[in-house]
Amino acid sequence: MANRSVLSICFVIGAILLASNVLPSAFVPPARSSAAMLGVATAASMGAAPVFADEIGDAAKKFASASYPFLKEVNWNAGLYLQNPGKASAADWTKAIAKAIDMGAVMDPSLLKAGVRAHHQAIGGMDSKLVTTEGAYEDILASVGRMVASVPEDKVMAVYNEFGKLVDPAVPKYLMGTVNEADAAKAYNAFMEFKDVVKAHPITAKIPTASVNTAIDKAAGKLADASYPFLKEIDWSSNVAAQANGFTGTPGAITKAIDKALVMGASMDSGALAAAAAAHVKAINGMDAKGVASKADYTAILAGIGKAITSVPNNQVMDVYNSFAKVTSPQVPKYLMSTVQAADAAAAYKGLMEFVKFVDGVPMNKF
């Protein structure tokens, strides 16, 4: 189906937004960094794991019981979680996201898939206040704990430290004022205990290698040739992507759109997904002062996205496309078009449609 390649962008954005809207992101002071660690782990959860009884699962049950009252006090219907929580530049946020992607790329794929299933079930069970059941919340905590346990500690701390730099110190104080302080403190103490259990029970990740498809690589190169001039014209220093007014849907509708992205991610080939993530990390680390990746790195990203998308059923791809279309302001494309050369944008779009047509013709998991 058309638009497969475009949708992977929605997929990544959706996962990041989920970290802001589903997990308890207000573990306050000094838990702004602690919350970031859990949130980013969720953002990386692109994939799904068998449910089993273990120390992390037992600890998650205790953590859920202690923090669920706090979870219910958070106003998840507020648009607050779509706001930039500081004054960091777009480049700074991009570099922090690269740390999160790098962390996600080395997580055990089966545990990632379990994390997606847990979030999918939790979103499906949300009430009108966007609060899921305590049981579903417990499953999320257990799955996130196992995901983090499968990552080397240095990569976890890289995410913790990078995001900690970007959040304004006033944010935790403000969030504390919106909930019962005693419940927040209880939740934070329980989180610290849970963190210790996760750290004490590391899991060895088994990362599959990506299959090779030189045909997709070639098609990606052609798209890069057609669209790189357009890419360089975009103002990547703009913070417009972090502004909530690009969305027309409610937080609930946006969360449900994110759910479609998670379901799509859970179907992706794990090797292809890890390779695409690695391509993004390399490109971000090599971007110039304007936030533009080299053409070679950009080509690698396009190839990685194409290979990941070919492993997804068309109906799941279109579910993401349609869901995000419903919650995105129609003014967004018009505004973005006004910031670039129309001819270059048209050439990029034509190249994309050719790439989409090619990727759409590649049989699932046949590369």
Determine what percent of the chain is predicted with pLDDT higher than 70.
Answer: 84
Q: Is the pLDDT of residue 3 over 90?
A: no
Residue 13: its pLDDT value, please? 32
- If one compares 19 and 245, the residue with the highest pLDDT of the two is 245
**Angle of helix 109-124 relative to helix 32-43, nearest 10 degrees?**
100
| pLDDT reported for residue 167 | 92
Using 50, 70 and 90 to split pLDDT, how confident is the model at 239? confident
Token pair for residue 306? 């194409």
> Residue 203: pLDDT above 60?
yes
What is the average pLDDT across 337-354? 95
CATH 1.40.10.10 domain span(s) along the chain: 11-200, 211-360
Mark 187-220 as b/e (b = at least 16 C-beta within 10 Å).
bbebbeebbebbeeeebebeeeebeebeebbebb
Closest alpha carbon to 352 in 204, 219, 255, 259: 219
Q: How far is CA 271 from the centre of its chain?
A: 17
**Residue 43 pLDDT exceeds 50:** no
Instruction: Report which of residues 96 and 6 the model is more confident about.
Output: 96
Beta-carbon contacts of 52 under 8 Å, excluding residues fewer than 6 positions away, are: none
Whether the pLDDT of residue 342 is over 80: the answer is yes
* Nearest-angstrom CA–CA distance, 132 and 137: 6
- Please name the CATH architecture into which domain 211-360 falls: Alpha solenoid (1.40)
Give me the pLDDT at residue 302, please. 97
Kindly tell me if the per-residue pLDDT of 59 is higher than 50. yes
| CATH architecture for residues 11-200 | Alpha solenoid (1.40)
Instruction: Dig out the tokens for 247 from the structure.
Output: 């969305």
What is the band of 84 on the pLDDT scale with cuts at 50, 70, 90?
confident
Q: What is the mean pLDDT of residues 126-151?
A: 96
Q: Which residue has the higher pLDDT, 46 or 221?
A: 221
Name the percent of the chain lying above pLDDT 90.
Answer: 69
The pTM for the full model equals 0.81
pLDDT at 242: 67
